[in-house]
Amino acid sequence: MKLKDIHNVYFIGIGGIGMSALARWFSANGYFVAGYDKTSTPLTKALESEGIAVHSSDSIELIPSSVVSDKSKSLIVYTPAVPKDHQEFNFLKNEGFEILKRSQVLGELTKDNFTIAVAGTHGKTTTSSIIAHILKSSGINCTAFVGGIMTNYNSNLIIGKEGADNVIVVEADEFDRSFLTLHPDIAIITAVDADHLDIYGSAESLKDSFKDFIKNIKRNGKLFIEERSAGKFSIESFEGINVETYGLVNGAIHSNGVSVYKGSFHFDYQRGDKLIRGVKLLLPGFHNTENSIAAISVALDLNVKEDAIKLAIENFKGVKRRFEYIIKSDNLVFIDDYAHHPEEIKALLNSVKALFPNKKITVIFQPHLFTRTRDFADGFSESLSLANEVLLLEIYPARELPIDGVSSSMLLEKITSGQKFVCSKEDLIDKLLRSDLEVVLTVGAGDIDAMVSPIKNALQP
């Protein structure tokens, strides 16, 4: 595939967070862009407002004629989540159109540019966003494709000027091994915890995929890897590249003391003899402090000045659904977060407890996937027990069919919080209004975000 020969790009699953960033890039660079997604969302509506045609009916007749009429100049990009019986996908496939996964297109876009790829079972969206923000704020020409809406830019995309100096920042997704299409100059691995076992089958298989990702780093390239994750690999895994470990308190790169003051996290950055004092992170969280340490390390390797790094970190407003304050008043705090793995929930709640040590914490959690709920039931129960009150919504199935015996109720028995309930979406707001609320969190990767506005409207005086 040569992009210079392509005029039309059609996306099947255009409303996905990663797909929409690619669609925006192609549109901004003069390509005709259109797409299908099964549901209309604020994100698809935003794409339409930017001049991209989007429809939500699976109909061959709705594929734009400019795409269908000129096969040689049309590229089809699809999400692996597309069902096997999808009419549009099967028509375009049978007609011999060039059809690529999002990850394959990213590999093509990044192959001729200096690339920074952020991988990990959690933390990659925030880390890649911080890196992109530091580079953009510091005047470095960069393009960034991330898996969330960056609040500073109200977008999942930053577009730099085309040219050899354009640094590409990309979120490298381990789901369905898609990150193996990338060959980065600098890579970050934020975590290698067991996940996506419906795809990989075992934690060991997932780790093997990360080994393959490490092998894809360019010769004499750089890897920053979280110190606990580094311990899961043999030294031989890192041959041919420069490796530095990082962590919140351990690793070759780490924080030298973390404090919480007026809702912000303050720390000193330590890397050998390099000490950057008084870094202020507006985005809360111990885990986000660790993400910032990785981002600072990348920026230093690209010769960004310390003062510019500190200013960018302080001005970084975060990513939608990553420790996002919905309500923040003296009487009530409401936070929305995308956490959907036990380790993510543990990091989130420990940070919330540090920020609000004397407050009652109420968590509304929607489990994501039957397989993930089954595989990590004990971990979910343990992490959720950090809250004072837990309300469990039913499992969001996404691409899966129900599994006998797997439900939100199976988590309830082992949760040790003083108050714990399984609650329907229909009864949720009434339940909240009858509860004594101080700090409330909506947590999950399914469609729980659709409840955020109704909850906010109900709880605000």
For range 22-45, the mean pLDDT: 93
| Structural domain range at position 14 | 3-101
> Is residue 225 assigned to a domain?
yes
425 and 347 in a common domain: yes
**Pair 251, 226: CB distance under 8 Å:** yes
Average pLDDT over residues 144-164: 92
CATH number at residue 445: 3.90.190.20
In terms of domains, do 163 and 65 share one?
Answer: no
The edge-to-edge listing of strands for the beta sheet with 253-261 is 155-158, 142-150, 167-172, 115-119, 186-189, 222-226, 242-246, 253-261, 264-271, 274-281
Task: Name the average pLDDT for the chain.
Answer: 92
287 and 331 part of one domain: no
> What is the average pLDDT across 180-192?
95
**Do both 135 and 15 map to the same domain?**
no
Residue 70 forms part of a structural domain? yes
Residue 175 to residue 398: CA distance in whole angstroms: 14
Sorting pLDDT into bands at 50, 70 and 90, what band is 196?
Answer: low
Task: Inform me whether the pLDDT recorded for 437 exceeds 90.
Answer: yes
H-only helix segments in 218-268: 227-230
Domain end among 296, 315, 334: 315
Residue 194: strand, helix, or coil: coil
pLDDT at 24 over 70: yes
User: What is the per-residue pLDDT for 1?
Assistant: 60
Q: Is residue 426 a part of any domain in this protein?
A: yes
Q: List, for residues 396-410, the tens digit of each pLDDT value.
A: 998 788 999 899 999
Contact indicator for 289, 255 with CB cutoff of 8 Å:
yes
Left if phi > 0, otherwise alpha if psi is -120 to 50, otherwise beta: which for 120? left
Q: Which two tokens stand for residue 82?
A: 């597309």
Q: Are residues 272 and 329 in the same domain?
A: no
Query: What is the count of structural domains for the chain?
Result: 3
Token pair, residue 15, equals: 């409303």
Residues 328 and 309 in one domain: no
* 45 within a domain of the structure (yes/no): yes
Domain for residue 361, yes or no?
A: yes
340 and 372 Cβ atoms separated by less than 8 Å: yes
Q: How many CB atoms lie within 10 A of CB 78?
A: 23
Residue 50: which CATH number? 3.40.50.720
Please compute the mean of the pLDDT values over residues 22-39 and round it to a whole number.
94
* Other beta carbons within 10 Å of 72: 9
**pLDDT of res. 3:** 78
| Chain position carrying tokens 């969190």 | 441
Whether residues 417 and 332 share a domain: the answer is yes
What are the Cα distances from residue 44, in Å, to 13, 37, 54, 87, 93? 10, 8, 7, 20, 24
256: three-class secondary structure by DSSP: strand
- Smallest Cα–Cα separation from 53: which of 66, 68, 65, 36? 36
DSSP 32-63: EEEEE-SS--HHHHHHHHTT-EEE-S--GGGS
Asked if residue 106 is part of any domain, the answer here is: no
Last residue of a domain, one of 78, 101, 124: 101
Q: Which of 315, 349, 372 is the last residue of a domain?
A: 315
The alpha carbon torsion through 192, 194, 195, 196 (nearest 10 deg) reads 100
Burial class (CB in 10 A: 0-12, 13-18, 19+), 96: exposed
Please tell me the pTM assigned to this model: 0.88
**Residue 351 shares a structural domain with residue 408:** yes
Side chain identity, residue 425: K
Residue 177 falls in which region: left (phi positive, over 0), alpha (psi -120 to 50) or beta = left
CATH of the domain at 275: 3.40.1190.10
Question: Which of 164-178, 272-286, 353-367 is the least confident region?
Answer: 164-178
Residue 276 tokens, joined? 């950057």
Q: Are residues 140 and 192 in the same domain?
A: yes
Q: What is the reported pLDDT for 263?
A: 81
- Do 68 and 206 reside in the same domain of the chain? no
Instruction: Identify whether residues 127 and 67 lie together within a single domain.
Output: no
144 falls within a domain? yes
So what's the pLDDT on residue 195? 73
pLDDT of 460 higher than 90: no
pLDDT tens-place string over residues 63-102: 999 999 989 999 999 988 788 899 999 999 999 999 999 8
User: Percent of the chain beyond pLDDT 70?
Assistant: 98
Whether residue 245 is found in the same domain as residue 122: yes
Both tokens of 425, joined, read 């979406």
Q: How far is CA 351 from CA 63, 93, 274, in A?
A: 47, 48, 27
What is the band of 325 on the pLDDT scale with cuts at 50, 70, 90?
very high
| Residue 96 counted as domain residue | yes
Percent of the chain past pLDDT 90, that is, above it, reads 77
pLDDT attached to residue 236: 87
